[in-house]
């Protein structure tokens, strides 16, 4: 009989396929008891740095996580995808753009009033580097928290010059001021559940939109409005923006409804939908209460491994991106526009858009 450590290592090595779903791969064959399987999954997430890192994207990806419905998994997905990308070697910046500050909480970052936050960069004169905080999840993961002050920003921004471009400019100057080896590979922006000026700033700042869709009744309700807004932003403010990723969340395999919703979303959005689906899992909802992502709170849980698989897919898709020629501006800055997908974009259009 081979020693257990050896078996574990060979199982880990055998389970590196980019599309392998978390529990069904052959590498787990030797671990047939549920506890052993969970231990193996936990080991894999906890020792992410010993495993093959995720591929870096061809250029910085600024991903706006949006859906004006509340409670669909925007924040949960931002946090857990961010932690997964960081644990697997990619420098990631999470920007919390929701005044409730749930992403900040889940990353264990202070967001009491007075904490330097995204508000100071949007409404005040702070640079992002002045409001970026480290996280305990990974040295690769930084977070710009949101304090409740941000609730007033929707109104305060109205009178600000170039108010829709504030976040984009902040990210551009932050990236430009960093040496290449410290620039983030991923910037994830967690939007509030509305289509106001904050979400608009996020759509102008991003290269791409990731929409989490909850596998529940009414999942697609209101989505047309979001897609129309994205179309409008593309026409008038940010030609590079497009929906690139749909993530199915809170999937409950015991219900027929979840399958119906998942099928409908896949029929509608085709290959934009990630193969990995996030199950409804109590560990996912418990983790923020401990200021943690589910990956650090319960690495072997299905919630954790499914977010790792979703992040892996996201990263593999991003690795196909080509850097744009002349991406650095004349002043050495890297304009966020030049970081977008440019003409390789396959913009998603709604049937009712022009």
Ligand X SMILES: Nc1ncnc2c1ncn2[C@@H]1O[C@H](COP(=O)(O)OP(=O)(O)O)[C@@H](O)[C@H]1O
Residues lying near Mg ion in the complex (CB under 5 A) are found at 74-75, 98, 102
Task: Report whether 154 contacts 161 (CB < 8 A).
Answer: no
Considering beta carbons, is residue 194 or 353 the nearer one to ligand X?
A: 194
Shortest CB 34 distance to ligand X, Å: 19
Shortest CB 109 distance to ligand X, Å: 16
Q: Does residue 258 touch ligand X according to CB under 6 A?
A: no
Kindly state the number of chain residues that form the binding site for ligand X, as judged by CB under 6 A.
18
Residue 72 binds which of Mg ion, ligand X, none (CB < 5-8 A, kind-dependent): ligand X
Among 132, 142, 250, 265, the residue binding ligand X under the rule CB under 6 A is: 250
Which CB contacts under 8 angstroms, 24+ apart, belong to 120-124?
Answer: 121/166, 121/167, 121/170, 122/150, 122/153, 122/157, 122/166, 122/167, 122/170, 122/201, 123/149, 123/152, 123/153, 123/156, 123/157, 123/160, 123/166
Considering beta carbons, is residue 76 or 170 the nearer one to ligand X?
A: 76
Q: Does residue 71 touch ligand X according to CB under 6 A?
A: yes
Q: Does residue 74 touch ligand X according to CB under 6 A?
A: yes
Considering beta carbons, is residue 75 or 301 the nearer one to Mg ion?
A: 75
Shortest CB 292 distance to Mg ion, Å: 16
Considering beta carbons, is residue 38 or 98 the nearer one to Mg ion?
A: 98
Considering beta carbons, is residue 83 or 321 the nearer one to ligand X?
A: 83
Task: Report whether 240 contacts 203 (CB < 8 A).
Answer: no
Shortest CB 278 distance to ligand X, Å: 5
Q: Which stretch binds ligand X (CB under 6 A): 44-52, 118-126, 282-290, 329-337?
A: 282-290
Considering beta carbons, is residue 149 or 216 the nearer one to ligand X?
A: 216
Shortest CB 228 distance to ligand X, Å: 19
State the SS3 of the chain: CCCHHHHHHHHHHHCCCCCCCCCCCHHHCCCCCHHHHHHHHHHHHHCHHHCCCCCCCCCCEEEEECCCCCCCCHHHHHHHHHHHHHHCCCCEEEEECCCCCHHHHHCCCCCCCCCCCHHHHHCCCCCHHHHCEECCCCCCEEEECCCHHHHHHHHHHHHCCCHHHHHHHHHHHHHHHCCHHHCCCEEEEECCCCCCHHHHHHHHHCCEEEEEEECCCCCCCCHHHHHHHHHHHHHHCCCCCEEEEEEEECECCCCHHHHHHHHHHHHHHHHHECCCCCECCHHHHHHHHHCCCHHHHCCCCHHHHHHHHHHHHHHHHHHCCCCCCCCCCCCCCCCHHHHCCHHHCCCCCCCCCC
Per-residue x/- marks for ligand X, 160-199, CB under 6 A?
A: ---------------------------------x------
Q: Which stretch binds ligand X (CB under 6 A): 219-227, 256-264, 268-276, 277-285?
A: 277-285
Shortest CB 248 distance to ligand X, Å: 10
Considering beta carbons, is residue 70 or 152 the nearer one to ligand X?
A: 70
Q: Does residue 75 touch ligand X according to CB under 6 A?
A: yes
Among 187, 215, 284, 339, the residue binding ligand X under the rule CB under 6 A is: 284
Shortest CB 72 distance to Mg ion, Å: 9
Q: Does residue 289 touch ligand X according to CB under 6 A?
A: no
What distance lies between CA 187 and its chain's CA centroid? 8
Q: Does residue 291 touch ligand X according to CB under 6 A?
A: no
Q: Does residue 101 touch ligand X according to CB under 6 A?
A: no
In the complex, which residues of this chain contact ligand X (CB under 6 A)? 70-76, 102, 193, 249-250, 278, 280-281, 284-285, 288, 303
């Amino acid at each position: 009989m081979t020693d257990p450590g050896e078996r574990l290592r060979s199982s880990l090595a055998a389970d590196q396929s980019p599309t392998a779903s978390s529990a069904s791969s052959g590498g787990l064959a030797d671990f047939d008891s549920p506890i052993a399987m969970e231990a193996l999954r936990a080991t894999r997430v906890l020792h992410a740095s010993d495993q093959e890192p995720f591929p870096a994207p061809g250029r910085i990806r600024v991903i706006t996580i949006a859906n004006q419905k509340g409670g669909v998994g925007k924040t949960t997905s931002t946090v857990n995808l961010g932690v997964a990308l960081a644990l697997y070697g990619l420098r990631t910046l999470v920007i919390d753009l929701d005044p409730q500050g749930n992403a900040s909480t889940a990353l264990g970052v202070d967001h009491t009033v007075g904490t330097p936050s995204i508000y100071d960069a949007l409404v005040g004169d702070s640079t992002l580097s002045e409001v970026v905080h480290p996280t305990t999840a990974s040295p690769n993961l930084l977070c710009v928290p949101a304090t409740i002050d941000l609730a007033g920003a929707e109104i305060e921004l109205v009178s600000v010059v170039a108010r829709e471009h504030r976040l984009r400019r902040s990210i551009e100057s932050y990236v430009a001021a960093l040496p290449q080896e410290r620039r983030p590979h991923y910037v994830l922006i967690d939007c509030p559940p509305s289509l106001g000026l904050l979400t608009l700033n996020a759509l102008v700042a991003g290269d791409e939109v990731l929409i989490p869709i909850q596998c529940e009744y009414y999942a697609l309700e209101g989505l047309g409005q979001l897609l129309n807004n994205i179309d409008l932003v593309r026409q008038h403010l940010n030609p590079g923006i497009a929906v690139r990723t749909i993530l199915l969340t809170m999937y409950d395999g015991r219900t027929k409804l979840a399958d119906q919703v998942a099928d409908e979303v896949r029929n509608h959005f085709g290959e934009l939908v990630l193969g990995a689906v996030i199950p409804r899992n109590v560990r996912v909802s418990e983790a923020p209460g401990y200021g943690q992502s589910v990956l650090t709170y319960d690495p072997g849980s299905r919630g954790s491994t499914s977010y790792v698989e979703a992040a892996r897919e996201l990263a593999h898709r991003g690795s196909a991106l080509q850097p744009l020629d002349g991406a650095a501006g004349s002043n050495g800055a890297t304009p966020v526009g030049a970081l977008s997908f440019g003409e390789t974009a396959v913009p998603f259009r709604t049937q009712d858009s022009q």
